[in-house]
């Protein structure tokens, strides 16, 4: 029984309990909504059902009044409610499918999202259709159209490759009434996809900066190019700048432009910033960049963390076994996947459920062996 049916039945029972007669007034919509723990919209829908069956007379600005109460019309309403309940149960017994469109078959991120989605869909008895875009926006669009052929699709979770603009299929999904949720980072400074769940990059990088600061580091360089075009890197870079501004510390950068680690970082570390600016720690915008940077440091004879501390972001599996084991921020892909599936299923069960436009899942800092405490001067 959905919320509208439940509220309708409550009003009928209220009429009988209070022995209301023609002309008697009903409680206000707000009172009905509060008693049934539903929205005003649901309460209004229930009144509309009773009005159609001739039980209630709604007078604009005055309220709702009993028009006619007899055994036949009450019986008809109860039968309608029960039939709706039966139809709902039958619908739920049909095979219902969720779809997940992953950005890549080999991505640790897509795999994490999938694990989280699976936890929820199995609990709720849904089947899952998996499609992979393989880093192609054209394939992503094809996957959407392929899925829409299946009439049992109840909702879609998308790890989209569209980061800075709305995907072209979004309006079609909305028009068809198919709820969808996006996972992964998008450009929150520009376009933010509808119903979008992602990592709280600001909170994650702030944890890095606070940790390095507490370990005595005052000359911390951001490693990576803020203008990568990746929204996550821009968010992490902004957090870095804001933290240093608050502490009145200098902004330092290693951008890394080129191919191999020798080309990326060695010249910058040797000739420009590292020695001149007395950098003691590198805060990298990703684990892969941290790995390249450590390689460059070794080629220059610098030891990590004895001579220089390094942190990453994403905490990919290999970072735990790297030498040194990398201090990094754990990107909560499974939590994002679970939260996305929870929100999507809530929307499927109750079309009036309002999924927030943006949900940020807070990551956690994993402290390992790549940072050394130093004396603060």
Strand 252-254 relative to strand 281-284: parallel, antiparallel, unpaired? unpaired
- 205 and 327 in a single domain? The answer is yes
Strands 97-102 and 153-158 come out as parallel
* Cβ atoms 321, 200 nearer than 8 A: no
Contacts of 326 (CB under 8 A, 6+ apart): 287, 290, 291, 310, 311, 312, 315, 319, 320, 368, 370
Residue 324: cis peptide before it, omega within 30 degrees of 0: yes
Pairing of strands 56-59, 63-66: antiparallel
Answer yes or no: are the C-beta atoms of 281 and 310 closer than 8 Å: yes
End residue of a domain, out of 57, 92, 127 = 92
Percent of the chain surpassing pLDDT 90: 41
Mean pLDDT of 349-355: 80
Q: Are 186 and 231 in contact (CB under 8 A)?
A: yes
The residue-averaged pLDDT of 31-36 equals 89
261 and 117 together in one domain: no
Q: What is the pLDDT of residues 282-297, one digit of tens each?
A: 999 999 889 989 998 8
- 153 with 193, same domain: the answer is yes
Residue 75 predicted with pLDDT over 70: no
Kindly indicate the confidence band of residue 201, based on its pLDDT and cuts at 50, 70 and 90.
Answer: very high
On whether both 221 and 318 belong to a single domain, the answer is yes
CB 222 within 8 A of CB 255: no
The stretch 77-102 carries a mean pLDDT of 63
Host domain of residue 16:
3-92
Whether residue 373 is contained in a domain is answered as no
Task: Please say whether the beta carbons of 267 and 299 come within 8 A.
Answer: no
What's the total number of domains in the chain? 3
Angstrom distances, CA of residue 193 to CA of 134, 171, 229, 236, 279? 20, 12, 16, 19, 38
The verdict on 221 and 327 lying in the same domain is: yes
Asked if residue 370 is part of any domain, the answer here is: no
CATH number at residue 233: 3.40.50.2300
* In a shared domain, residues 69 and 113: no
Domain shared by 206 and 271, yes or no: yes
Torsion of CA 6, 12, 18, 24, to 10 degrees: 120
Element (H, E) at 52: helix 40-52
Per the domain annotation, does 289 fall within a domain?
A: yes
How many other C-beta atoms can be found within 10 angstroms of the C-beta atom of residue 166? 14
- Of residues 5 and 298, more confidently modeled: 298
Pair (22, 126) in one structural domain = no
Of 40, 70, 92, the position where a domain reaches its end is 92
* Cβ count near 233 (within 10 Å): 22
Q: Which residue has the higher pLDDT, 102 or 91?
A: 102
Using CA atoms, how far apart are residues 164 and 230, in angstroms rounded to an integer?
Answer: 9
User: Does residue 177 lie within any of the structural domains?
Assistant: yes
Backbone angles phi, psi at 325, to 5 degrees: -60, 130
**pLDDT, tens digit, 9 for 90 and up, residues 204-258:** 999 999 999 999 999 999 988 654 457 788 899 999 999 999 999 998 888 766 5
Has residue 375 been placed in a domain?
no
| Nearest-10 crossing angle of helices 3-18, 40-52 | 60
- The answer on 100 and 157 residing in a single domain is yes
Co-location of 305 and 326 in the same domain: yes
Is residue 52 over pLDDT 50? Answer: yes
Residue 116 shares a structural domain with residue 261: no
Give yes or no: residues 44 and 11 share one domain.
yes
Measured CA distances, 326 to 50, 278, 307, 341 (Å): 65, 22, 15, 31
Compute the CA torsion angle 280, 286, 287, 291 (nearest 10 deg).
-60
CATH code of 7's domain: 1.10.10.10
Give the model confidence (pLDDT) of 328-338 as tens digits.
999 999 999 99
Considering the entire predicted model, what is its pTM? Answer: 0.72
């Amino acid at each position: 029984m959905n919320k509208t049916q439940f509220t309708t039945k409550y009003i009928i029972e209220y009429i009988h309990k209070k022995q209301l007669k023609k002309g008697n007034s009903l409680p206000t919509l707000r009172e009905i909504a509060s008693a049934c723990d539903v929205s005003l919209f649901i309460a209004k829908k229930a009144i509309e059902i009773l009005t159609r069956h001739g039980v209630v007379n709604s007078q604009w600005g005055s309220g709702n009044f009993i028009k006619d109460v007899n055994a036949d019309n009450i019986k008809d309403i109860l039968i309608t409610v029960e039939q709706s309940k039966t139809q709902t149960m039958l619908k739920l017994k049909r095979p219902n499918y969720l779809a997940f469109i992953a950005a890549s078959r080999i991505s640790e991120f897509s795999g994490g999202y999938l694990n989280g989605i699976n936890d929820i869909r199995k609990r709720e008895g849904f089947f899952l259709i998996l499609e992979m875009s393989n880093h192609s926006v054209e394939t992503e669009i094809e996957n959407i159209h392929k899925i829409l052929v299946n009439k049992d699709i109840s909702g879609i979770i998308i790890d989209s490759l569209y980061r800075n603009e709305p995907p072209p299929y979004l309006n079609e999904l909305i028009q068809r009434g198919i709820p969808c949720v996006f996972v992964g980072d998008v450009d929150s400074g520009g376009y933010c996809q509808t119903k979008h769940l992602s990592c709280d990059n600001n909170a994650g990088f702030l944890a890095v900066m606070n940790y390095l600061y507490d370990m005595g580091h005052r000359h911390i360089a951001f490693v990576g190019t803020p203008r990568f075009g990746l929204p996550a890197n821009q968010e992490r870079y902004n957090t870095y700048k804001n933290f240093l501004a608050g502490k009145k510390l200098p902004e330092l950068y290693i951008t890394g432009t080129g191919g191999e680690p020798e080309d990326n970082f060695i010249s910058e570390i040797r000739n420009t910033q590292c020695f001149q600016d007395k950098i003691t720690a590198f805060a990298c915008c990703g684990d892969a960049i941290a790995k390249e940077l450590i390689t460059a440091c070794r080629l220059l004879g610098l030891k990590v963390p004895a001579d220089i501390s390094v942190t990453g972001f994403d905490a990919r599996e290999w970072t735990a076994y790297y030498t040194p084991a990398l201090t990094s921020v754990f990107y909560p892909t499974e939590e994002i996947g679970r939260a996305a599936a929870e929100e999507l299923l809530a929307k499927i069960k109750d079309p009036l459920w309002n999924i927030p436009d943006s949900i940020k899942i807070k990551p956690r800092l994993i402290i390992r062996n790549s940072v050394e405490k130093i004396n603060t001067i």
